[in-house]
Chain A
Amino acid sequence: AQKITQTQPGMFVQEKEAVTLDCTYDTSDPSYGLFWYKQPSSGEMIFLIYQGSYDQQNATEGRYSLNFQKARKSANLVISASQLGDSAMYFCAMREINTGTASKLTFGTGTRLQVTL
């Protein structure tokens, strides 16, 4: 079974609108962390936001927020007020603390976001 599932290969959003990128995960480890990365066409991976499994509040970083629904095992990324520079691939990733090596990340297959005028 996939540990991280991103079901949207591609998404379009108009400039200044909000967009939600979906991510579901599968783990039996009670202690884990969820990460979102952005990869522009230039190739570098940029860390955006983190959510811990025990965090009571949804994480926010500027225009990025994470809609964390633990019971549903989902960690969707919300980008508010989209900008043309947000066009990129977005990856969801998970670290399981108690199973295997704590530092290892498992990535989803990514969602390509295109922001239009």
Chain B
Amino acid sequence: DVKVTQSSRYLVKRTGEKVFLECVQDMDHENMFWYRQDPGLGLRLIYFSYDVKMKEKGDIPEGYSVSREKKERFSLILESASTNQTSMYLCASSLRGQASNQPQHFGDGTRLSIL
């Protein structure tokens, strides 16, 4: 089974702090994704990566950056956390390729609160 592991289930940080959310997958997937989930808005894509050191902006990249130095690890960085970044953050991974039936596999999520 694919395992996607997010470093924290719950995290509380202060406004202005630099925050790192870590995600590791063990299935050698090329693609990795970061989403945020807010009530009534569903999942929105922040950034994704299709290879080491490669990244592309998703739908809501403002206020975030990412890092992918190793294939199995994808980090989401909040450079200067703000209260409107309080949310549930979900990491996912998938195989690269044109096969449309490849699902994304998700971690358990990190509930981040910015005070």
Chain A contacts to B: CB under 8 angstroms: 4, 6, 9, 31-33, 35, 37, 42-47, 50, 52-53, 91, 93, 95, 97, 101-105, 107-110
Residues of chain B within 8 A (CB-CB) of A102 are 97-98, 100
Interface centre among A43, A46, A50, by most B CB within 10 Å? A43
Choose among A6, A101, A108 the residue with the greatest number of B CB atoms under 10 Å from its CB: A101
Q: Does B34 contact A (CB under 8 A)?
A: no
Q: How far is the CA of A27 from the CA of B100 in the complex (A)?
A: 15
B101 at the interface (CB under 8 A from A): yes
Contact, CB under 8 Å: A110 / B108: no
In this complex, what residue of A is CB-closest to B111?
Answer: A43
CB of B68 within 8 Å of the partner chain: no
Shortest Cβ gap from B41 to chain A (Å): 6
Give the CA-CA distance A109 to B37 in the complex, in Å.
Answer: 9
Q: Which of B9, B35, B96, B105 contacts A47 (CB 8 A)?
A: B105
B115 within 8 A of A: no
Which secondary structure characterizes the binding site on chain A?
loop
- Given contacts A101-B56, A107-B42, A43 and B108 within 8 Å (CB-CB): yes
Report B78-103 CB contacts with A as 1/0, cut-off 8 Å.
00000000001010101011101111
> Is B56 in contact with A43, judged by CB distance below 8 angstroms?
no
How long is the Cα–Cα vector from A95 to B92 in the complex, in angstroms?
15
- Chain A interface: which of B15-23, B43-51, B69-77? B43-51
Q: Mark B1-39, 1 if CB is under 8 A from A, else 0.
A: 000000001000000000000000000000100010000
* Chain A residue with the shortest CB-CB distance to B107: A44
Bound state CA distance, A79 and B81, in angstroms? Answer: 41
